[in-house]
């Protein structure tokens, strides 16, 4: 026959659980901070912008019907313009975010 746990065993198990939760919250906060500081670096912004531009080019050319060499699609210039504007908007947003994070980091120091 199995005996129920004592109060001290329950208390020690609850303490271990609370300590484990604190440790996991601290590690998640540390990872979040590391990712935030890494993404604020100019090289990371350039990589993210480059990947976005490549994705935009790939997405614009995906499922495109093959046309003959002499025919020019009306859709091609529109897709090029839209992808260019999206990349430009993304660059502006990334630059603004980077500036804001850099300024908030220097103000906190």
pTM assigned to the model:
0.38
Largest CA distance in the chain: 88
**16 vs 109: CA distance, rounded Å:** 35
What was the pLDDT predicted at 70? 55
User: Cβ distance 29 to 38 under 8 Å?
Assistant: no
Confidence band, pLDDT 50/70/90 cuts, at residue 67 = low
Using the predicted structure, report yes or no on whether residue 108 has a pLDDT greater than 60. no
Average pLDDT, the chain: 80
Give pLDDT tens digits for 83-101: 888 888 888 888 888 888 8
What percent of the chain lies above the pLDDT cut of 90? 21
Q: What is the mean pLDDT of residues 29-43?
A: 80
């Amino acid at each position: 026959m199995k005996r129920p746990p004592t109060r001290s065993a329950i208390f020690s198990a609850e303490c271990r659980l609370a300590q484990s939760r604190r440790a996991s919250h601290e590690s998640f906060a540390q990872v979040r901070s590391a990712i935030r500081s890494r993404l604020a670096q100019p090289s990371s912004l350039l990589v993210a912008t480059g990947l976005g531009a490549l994705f935009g080019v790939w997405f614009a050319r995906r499922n495109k019907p093959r046309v003959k060499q002499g025919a020019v699609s009306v859709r091609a210039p529109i897709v090029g313009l839209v992808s260019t504007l999206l990349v430009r908007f993304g660059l502006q947003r990334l630059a603004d975010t980077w500036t804001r994070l850099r300024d908030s980091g220097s103000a906190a120091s």
